[in-house]
Structures are given as structure tokens and as C-alpha cells.
Copies of this chain bind each other. A is one copy, B any other.
Amino acid sequence: MSEPGSLRDLAYATLRQRIVEVALKPGERLVERDLAAELNVSRIPLREALRMLAAEGLVVIVPGKGALVSPFTPADVRDLFDVREVLESLAARLAAARASAESVERLEKRLEECRAATADADVTRIAAANAAFHAEIIDLADNPLLTSLMSPLAARTEWLFRLTSSRDPAEQCSEHEELFALIAAGDADGAAASAYAHIAAGRAPSTALASTWSEPTVDPEAVAKRRRRRT
């Protein structure tokens, strides 16, 4: 996530963080002029930042109406897992097939961080370490298209982990151990299956928690129509 200092990227990074941390709630209206004023940028870079977020799926832009934070329904969670299962599985397969001594070493460093964080029982650190482990596998897959497809999913996944709580860290960590071993051994089919199972294992807890929010099914069209009046 480089930030070449441009105001657009600054606005993008700021908004993305606020959405992921739920400082901006799903369904919340994003008014260009207000945000531009708050972030001390003009509307042009802000608009471009919104488009980037929309391309990533974190924001919905209703043409001619405005932008709002994407709603995140139980169905969205289901869809997210459907896609993550196959893409993470593909990444693991490719990573295993293209594994080299140097790449295995890099992945192992991530795994060690997972172990350490899990031992510490530091939830923030665990989440970061797990995310880094998965990101490393994507990177090892050496498929730029896959990488670009995964980044929106990563954003939503991070979001999901903030909204819900993660499942048992020790269990996750041991699954990472298994996945690492298969990738290191160059076992493409095994790594793919292991990754699939690893993602699938997170589905039930997440959907269960997701069903408890059950936002009143925010309708983008409807929300976009509302306007504020002078305070």
C-alpha cells in the first residue's frame, strides 16, 4: 500500500482505513464536499479516491446521486467466502508449484510471526500476522491478475474481522503450519486443498455473527436520495 504523497492517495488511504475500522458505517452517506473539506483536499482528488474505493467494492456510487459505504449483509459474507475459497486455493496451488528455496524462506518468516503472535495472544498482532501470511502466499503465486483480484477481498476480509471476532487463533495457526509444509514440499494439489479447507473453516463462525447484525437491508438507491439541511 504505497502512498506517493499525492492527495488522491492520501484521501484513499484515509477513507479506506475509516471504513475498515467502521468509523464510517455500512450504508453511511459520503458527501464529496464535506469529506473534501475535512481532509483538506479539493473535490477532484476526493472523487478519484471514491472511484478507487468503489472499484474495490468498499463504496457504492449511485450514478448522479452520490457515494455511500457499501452495505455488508450476510449474503455478502457468503459470497465473499465462496470467492475466497477458490482464489486462496488457487494462490496456494500456484505458490506450491512455483516454490523456490528463497520463497519458502520468506513464507516461513511470516509463519514464525504467526506463531509468535499466537503465543502472545495479542489479537491485533495475530490478525496482522495472519493477513501477512496469506498476502505472502498470494505474492508467491506470482500472478499479478490474481493479486489485483485479491486486494478488494482483503479489504473486505479485514473489515469482516473487525466487525466479527476471529475464530480460535491456535487452530488457525496450526492450519497455517500445514499449509506451509505443503507449499514448501511443492505439493500443489495438497496445498490447494488445505487452503480451501482453511478458508472454509472460517465460514460458519463469520456467517453466524453476520446474521446477528442484520442491518435493515440498506438500499443504496434510497440512502442516496436523502439530503441534509443546514444544521
Interface residues of A (CB under 8 A from B): 4, 6, 9, 44, 47-48, 51-52, 55-57, 63-64, 76, 79-80, 82-83, 86-87, 89-90, 94, 143-146, 148-149, 152-153
Interface of A is mostly: helix
Answer whether A63 and B4 are a contact pair too, CB < 8 Å, given A82-B90, A86-B86.
yes
Report the nearest B residue to A153, measured CB to CB: B145
Interface contact B83-A143, CB-CB below 8 Å: yes
Contacts of A79 in B (CB 8 A): 143-146
Contacts of A82 in B (CB 8 A): 90, 94, 143, 145-146
In the complex, A94 Cα to B78 Cα: how many Å?
A: 12
Residue from B51, B86, B148 within 8 A of A89 (CB atoms): B86
